[in-house]
Chains A and B, each alone.
Chain A
Amino acid sequence: MAEISPDDFDLIVVGTGLQEALLAAAASKTGKRCETASSATKVEVALSGDDSSLYTDVEVERDSRADLGPLRDYNIDLAPKALYCADPLIGALLACGAQHYLEFKLVQASYVWRGGRLARVPAARADIFRDRSLGPADKRALMRFLTAAAGALHGTGPLYGVFCGRQPLAALLEAQGLAPHLRDFILYALAMADAEQGRAALALYLESAGRYGAGTGALLAPMFGAGELPQAFCRVAAVAGALYVLRRPLAAALLRGGRCVGVRTRDGQVLTCMAMACNTGTLPAAWGGPASPSLARGVCILDGPLQDGESQVTVVIPPRALGGANAAAVRALQVGAATSACPPGRYLLYLSTLSSGASAAHDLRPAGGMVAALGSSAGPGTSPDPGGEDSDDEAVGALASALRGLGEGPGK
């Protein structure tokens, strides 16, 4: 294997996940602008070895009769993302110029699982107008709350004092006199919160709604999947002068006086640096940072959308809404061929939830059952063709071990 040259860097970043790529981009861009650095700032990124140790159990299920379509057209994410339009990550993209390498599609609708069916979340004025299932009082209450909350964000309006308080969002909504189903909408679908926090999330939602077009939603899904995000930042870093080294696993980090001064690759080459950055998952357990919550993730390939005509949607199943089977909220993101994540006629459904400690399949199977129920129900409100059914179900359950402390927070 060729030697890596030069072998002295300001920063060595290990791994090309989103966090690592962001750091690499930030470091190389500031390095480029910093002329006082004694040596040109170069950043090395090396792929660490084998990532499958992140997962504790994996289960794959496939209907052998199902036709998946051309497999090359799939871009399945292991860490799927839908971004808020006003997300700080969007700001970071724009600040470093990564937006040139990315495209996004708007998420078209959000749904909440209520009473055995998917209820569309009326998130904006036009949605509230169109939703005939909401009574007049509900419409007024929802509209009034959303306007007041938006005003409170800007420091005006009747909710300002209340909004700044310490009350958890759920209690605040109840105090405002909103009916339970409206509280569910706001809490789980708009604020994307589990019962405890959510004020900041609601603020982010309100800032994001309609940002890229009047009457559009608050969420964006990246074209070609969330895997494009680290790729875009990697490109920014490379353009700014970072050095990428692939397929070079590291054997050891060299410490002197408690600081990292270099690494040694498995081939024996030593690279010196002033600092090293890596994800806690790549470090031995003794060094790991605080344990992060473990997640159960799944992905299903569907042969029809959950709701006709909508390709990118998010679904939230509130805690215990599946007959008590799920203790935590289950979130789902469906993307279709419009985002080029799968071939036409197929849809990817990503599921995730906080792990209960049991296997991922145990945590996510009730949600999978919900999807199947949608397809097989032949009620007049559902799609006329059986396209909603996931006759093909490939579930990849992944459980990040708490010991490793992977720092994967609840994915949004």
Chain B
Amino acid sequence: MHGRPRPPKDQPEDPEKQRAAGKRLALFSRLCNEVLARRAAKRYDEKSLALAGALLEQNPEVYTAWNFRREALQLALKGDAGPGEAQRLAQRELDLTEKAVRKNPKSYAAWFHRRWVVEQGLCPLDGELDLIDRLLDMDERNFHGWGYRQFITARAGVQAAAEDAYTATRIGQNFSNYSAWHARTTLLQRLHASSRTVTLDQLLAEADPASSTGESAASMVPTWALREEYGLVQQAFFTDPADQSAWLYHRWLLGGSLAHFAAASGTPREGTARQVLEEELACGDSTIECTVINW
């Protein structure tokens, strides 16, 4: 969770708390060993799954337990579980991941498991976006949430324009949000990929492993869209030049403008392309009063 202060390190230990923590630790160790033993013995019964669930609710980072549950689910699906039963099992997994994510919103293992369950295709996707929304309300910079959102929107076929509006809202709430700006980069490519006219030379250039993918990605975005994005990101670094996420996004946009400039060399559009580049580079100079800027 961003924005939470760390507890001070040199606090005197509370004997009561230590004792309680010791007890919890002993219980946890027993539970952990039991689950690992059952997995080694390949016991996929309900009791073992329940124990694994209890373990993961306490500590979502024990990824072996997640593997265990995945194996159990796969076994059940391969067996004679009907569609209703399969859905129920999948829903159970989703509920467990939700509890795990509440405990630790940044648990890689829990998010991976949720993604895996959704990929099995057994559950409706309606609640997913709502869950992500609630998570991002609590911590709008959680990149797990953003990554999962991209996964779900691609799967559910959500329109890129709707996502555009969503990222814009989140950036509007707090523009110190690198994940949201980053989501905009992939979004812009999706939005404008179809409108791109490609020449054979460009295709060959992209296929060349030596060309930097960053440049070619941004060059898919037409100049008018880049101009709008420049407008948006300028608001951010005019308000707070010390905020890095805006500058990083600006750099990505500059890559796009550079690609347009390179593509336009020798054509009448070269002049305008050069002008755009110069203006944007000058933005950095005008805000140089803040020594943090180092692009």
Contacts and interface: CB of A to CB of B under 8 A. Distances in A.
Interface of chain B, helix or strand or loop or mixed? Answer: helix
What is the size category of the interface that chain B forms with chain A?
Answer: 10 to 19
A214 B3 contact: yes
B240 A136 contact: no
Interface stretch (B37-45, B126-134, B172-180, B266-274): B172-180
Contacts of B173: 126, 215
B235 A214 contact: no
A133 to B, nearest CB: 11
Contacts of B286: 136
A130 interface: yes
Interface string A105-136: 00000000000000000000110111010001
B175 A126 contact: yes
Contacts of B234: 136
Contact of A130 (B172, B240, B241): B172
B172 A126 contact: yes
Interface string B233-254: 0111011110000000000000
Interface in B129-182: 172-175
A129 B237 CA distance: 9
B257 to A, nearest CB: 19
A140 to B, nearest CB: 6
A143 B3 contact: no
A365 interface: no
A139 interface: yes
A298 B63 CA distance: 65
Contacts, number: 33
Contacts of A214: 3, 174
Contacts of A130: 172, 235
A125 B240 CA distance: 8
A143 B235 contact: no
Contacts of A128: 239
Contacts of A215: 173-174
Interface string B1-23: 00100000000000000000000
Nearest to A147: B240
B170 to A, nearest CB: 11
A125 B239 contact: yes
A371 B175 CA distance: 34
Interface residues of A, number: 12
Interface string A130-173: 10100010011001000000000000000000000000000000
A139 B234 CA distance: 11
A129 B3 contact: no
Given A143-B240, A214-B3, A126 B174 contact: yes
A139 B175 contact: no
Nearest to B290: A140
Interface in B273-288: 286-287
Nearest to B175: A129
A140 B235 CA distance: 10
A402 to B, nearest CB: 46
Contacts of B238: 136, 139-140
Contacts of A140: 238-239, 241, 287
A214 B286 CA distance: 29
Contacts of B3: 214
Nearest to B289: A140
A367 to B, nearest CB: 31
B17 to A, nearest CB: 27
Contact of A139 (B172, B174, B239): B239
Contacts of A125: 174-175, 239-240
Contacts of A139: 235, 238-239
A129 B181 CA distance: 14
A132 B235 contact: yes
Contacts of B239: 125, 128-129, 139-140, 143
A143 B241 CA distance: 10
Contacts of A129: 172, 175, 235-236, 239
Interface in A178-223: 214-215
A316 to B, nearest CB: 23
A345 B159 CA distance: 33
A118 to B, nearest CB: 20
A130 B238 CA distance: 11
A339 B283 CA distance: 45
A214 B137 CA distance: 11
A214 B240 CA distance: 16
Interface in A355-384: none
A412 B175 CA distance: 31
A129 B175 CA distance: 8
A259 B234 CA distance: 68
A132 B172 CA distance: 12
Q: Which of A132, A139, A143, A214 has the most CB of B within 10 A?
A: A139
A142 B168 CA distance: 23
A126 B243 CA distance: 13
Q: Which of A129, A140, A214 has the most CB of B within 10 A?
A: A129
B1 to A, nearest CB: 12
A329 B204 CA distance: 68
A129 B238 CA distance: 8
Contacts of B172: 126, 129-130
A158 to B, nearest CB: 13
A129 B287 CA distance: 16
Contacts of A136: 234, 238, 286
B238 to A, nearest CB: 4
Nearest to A215: B173
Contacts of B241: 140
A136 B240 CA distance: 10
Given A130-B172, A136-B286, A140-B239, 14 more contacts: A125-B175, A125-B239, A126-B173, A126-B174, A129-B172, A129-B175, A129-B235, A129-B236, A139-B239, A140-B238, A140-B241, A140-B287, A214-B3, A215-B173
16 contacts: A125-B174, A125-B175, A125-B239, A126-B172, A126-B173, A126-B174, A126-B175, A129-B239, A132-B235, A136-B286, A139-B238, A140-B238, A140-B241, A140-B287, A214-B3, A215-B173
Interface of B: 3, 172-175, 234-236, 238-241, 286-287
| A-B CB proximity, top 5 nearest | A136-B238, A139-B238, A129-B239, A139-B239, A128-B239
